[in-house]
Structure 1
Amino acid sequence: MSDVHTSPVLSGDPRDVLTVAAGKAGVPTAEATLIRDGANVTYEMAGGVVARVGPPGSQPAAARQIQASRWLADAGIAVVRAVDDIDQPTVARTRPVTWWVQLPEHRHATPAELGAALGRLHALAVPESPSFPVVNPFEGLRESIDGGTALSEDDRGWLRDLAKRLHDEYSTLTTSRPRCVIHGDAWQGNVVVPRAGGGPVLLDLDHVGIGPREWDLVSLTVDYTDFARLTDSDYQAFVDAYGGYDMTTWSGYRTLATIRELRWTAFVLGKAKTSPEAARQVRHRVACLRGEIERPWTWSAF
């Protein structure tokens, strides 16, 4: 999740950026259809190609996505594939555009399928080359909180203190944890299964890096413990498919769970400047984090 907010005049309208980049890459734009307008703006193109227009200045991150896709595929992991015959990323008006092979019709992974996919990913040896970055769960958090004028200064001060406490706890907890290649934003929507058959495929490689396996396991686990979105059997299937490790038994679980929930809150805080619904939701989420609302929580999706 990203909280980048840049003037369209400076960053370039995504459709204009796409047109310029497509001209450089030799990709036709006549049938380009918007799929998703987020931190990355995604378009379906003709010929089975998907284009992702990244935020301004994010060329290094875009290059790492391409690198991660090719390395994971070579390592035997089913992953969204970058188009091979285009020099990537293509930069236009400070924004990188990456080009991907469109997936067939697909669905989100089940908890068991997600667990199995993460088990295969985490079993890979950490490579010397390419050199993946160390995943930082706190990246961008302070900036999001400071810029979150939809909240009172009291709430923002409380969130700053929470982020600092969690950062200190995380540093202590993970110093001795084994490191592996992690997805960095692993949830059921970022691992999909083709409806025509085949195994789970990893998507959205923006946060692939090196870190503790627990950071990949925590999102689904929080859905179970704090939001009651999973049944006991679904969660157990996730644990079993991963290899039997239930991270709720780890003493550091609550710290990582709260970090993930704080990131989800900060994401909506970034949207609250222009969305009254997001402003209401972020205040609700802060009330949950502050202990004013008992679990299980209900948070609206954004």
Structure 2
Amino acid sequence: MNQSRQQAATAAEVLNRAAKLSNVDARGAITVRDGSHAIFELPDGIVARVGQPHSYRTAQRELRISQWLNKNGITTVEAVNSIPQPTLVDERPVTWWTLIPDHRPSTPEELGRMLRQLHALTPPIDFPLPAYAPFDGVREPVESATTITEADRAWLLEQYARLRQRYDELDEPSQRCVIHGDAWQGNLVVPPSGEPTVLDLDKVSVGWPEWDLIQLAVDHTDFHRITDDQYRSFVDAYGGYDVTRWPDYRVLADIQEFRWVAFALGRSDTRQSAATEAKHRIACLRGLVPKPWTWQAL
């Protein structure tokens, strides 16, 4: 059995053991995602989210964030209240959420409107939010990847150092606030009810609002995934602030794209598709592929 299958089996095993502990029916579980979290769709309209080892406090915080945001007028995925949470198996927390059926990704306008509302919130006082750390977990995949050349690794490490220095030299563009931390259209979904619903709460933190604006901005400037009109609708819905006009926009854009490369590298040793994609993304960063770029989702 190769390593990727072992990892998938481990997540499935954790799920099955957690389901028994929590009296949840996990028969016929369907894998929705096997990334930083393993996510499974279960019978009875439940979604199970299997966290990384030693992430119990993060899982607890996600549950509290969901409750807090819903109380403050921002609809999020809701935990299943009838199940004690999180369920801990082999130091991996499992959380149980209500399935959102038949949803679609949000439009840029819907995403901009939600972010404007989110960034206006006062941080919670009954539990702390961490400070957003854009370089967390970024260097390690570069150092450990076995599928890239030493020349690419050396360039990436040099680029990492350059980005750290450029970031440390920035003046704060705006006041820090509550941010989502991974604000793209797939993390704000719209079910048949029409109520945009926020997903993936593990990176909710306190940081520059620009970190929540950068992903869609990069989609527009570097990938052309959205049109000029769609991007303008995002800016207008957010309140008129266009992060691409900020003089230091490129610093955050380059960091965000480096993070996406590191994400691919983190999966490249066990997935050939990720290894191929990582090499392509590195070539893009190194200027060997002209923009607009096309990157495949992992």
TM-score bracket for this pair, using the shorter chain length: over 0.9
Over aligned residues, Cα RMSD in angstroms?
2.0
Matched, 1:219 2:249: no
- 1:46 is matched by which residue type in structure 2? P
Question: Does the Cα contact within 8 Å between 2:223 and 2:294 map onto a contact in 1?
Answer: yes
Deviates more, 1:53-62 or 1:270-279: 270-279
Q: CA-to-partner distance for each residue in 1:174-229, whole Å, 9 max, x for gaps? A: 546311111000100000011x2322110011111000000011011101000111
> How far, CA to CA, are the matches of 1:57 and 1:8 in structure 2?
19
Residue in 2 aligned with 1:93? 90
1:292 corresponds to which residue? 288
**Matching residue's letter, 1:206:** D
**Residue 108 (structure 2) aligned to one of 108, 111, 129:** 111
Contact 2:4 2:270 in 1 (8 A): no
Note the 1:120-135 alignment, pairs <5 A: 120-135=117-132
Residue 64 of structure 1: CA displacement?
1.5
Given that 2:112 and 2:235 are in contact with CA atoms closer than 8 Å, whether structure 1 keeps it comes out as yes
Deviation for aligned residue 1:45: 1.8
Structure 2: which 5+ runs fail to align? none
- Check conservation: 1:174, 1:212, Cα contact below 8 A: no
Return the match for 2:256 from 235, 240, 260: 260
Corresponding residue number in structure 2 for 1:167: 164
Cα shift at 1:85: 2.6
**Do the aligned partners of residues 238 and 175 (structure 1) sit closer, same or farther apart at CA in structure 2, a change above 3 Å counting?**
closer
Q: How do residues 95-244 of structure 1 correspond to structure 2 at under 5 angstroms?
A: 95-173=92-170, 175=172, 177-194=174-191, 196-244=192-240
| 1:139-172 deviations in Å (ceiling 9; x for gaps) | 1111111011211122112111211221222233
Whole-angstrom CA distance in 1 between matches of 2:142 and 2:67? 35
Deviation string 1:218-265 (CA, Å, 9 cap, x unpaired) is 011101000111111010001001111100110121011111111111
Aligned residue-pair number: 296
Letter in 2 for 1:155: D
- Partner amino acid, structure 2, of 1:38: G
Give the superposition deviation at 1:8: 4.8
For normalisation by structure 2, the TM-score amounts to 0.93
Aligned to 1:37: 34
Aligned counterpart, 1:54: 51
- Identify unmatched segments of 5+ residues in structure 1: none
Q: Deviations over 1:105-144 (max 9, x none)?
A: 2100011111111111111112333210001111111111
> How far has the Cα of 1:46 moved from its partner?
2.2
Which shows bigger deviation, 164-173 or 213-222?
Answer: 164-173
SS of 2:170's equivalent in the other structure is helix
Between the aligned partners of 1:172 and 1:201, the Cα distance in structure 2 is 36
CA distance in 2, matches of 1:170, 1:66: 31
CA distance in 2, matches of 1:275, 1:102: 28
Following the alignment from structure 2 to structure 1, what is the Cα–Cα distance between the partners of residues 269 and 150?
15
Is the contact between residue 190 and residue 197 of structure 2 (CA under 8 Å) also seen in structure 1? yes
Alignment correspondent of 2:14: 17
Q: Distance in 2 between matches of 1:7 and 1:57?
A: 21
Comparing 19-28 and 92-101, the one that deviates more: 19-28
Query: What secondary structure sits across from 1:47 in the alignment?
Result: helix
Cα distance in structure 2, aligned partners of 1:14 and 1:6: 11
TM-aligned CA deviation for residue 7 of structure 1: 10
CA contact (8 A) 2:32 2:39 kept: yes
Residue 180 of structure 2 aligns with an amino acid whose one-letter code is H
2:188·2:199 contact (CA, 8 Å) conserved in 1?
Answer: yes
Instruction: Determine which of 20, 27, 30 is the counterpart of 2:24.
Output: 27
Distance between the aligned counterparts of 2:280 and 2:4, measured in 1? 27
Q: Percent identity?
A: 48
Cα distance in structure 2, aligned partners of 1:137 and 1:83: 31
SS in 1 for 2:166: helix
Aligned-residue offset at 1:68:
1.1
Cα–Cα, structure 1 residues 43 and 7, in superposed 2: closer, same or farther, change >3 Å? closer
Task: Identify which range, 180-189 or 61-70, moves more after superposition.
Answer: 61-70
Say which SS state the counterpart of residue 13 (structure 1) adopts. Answer: helix
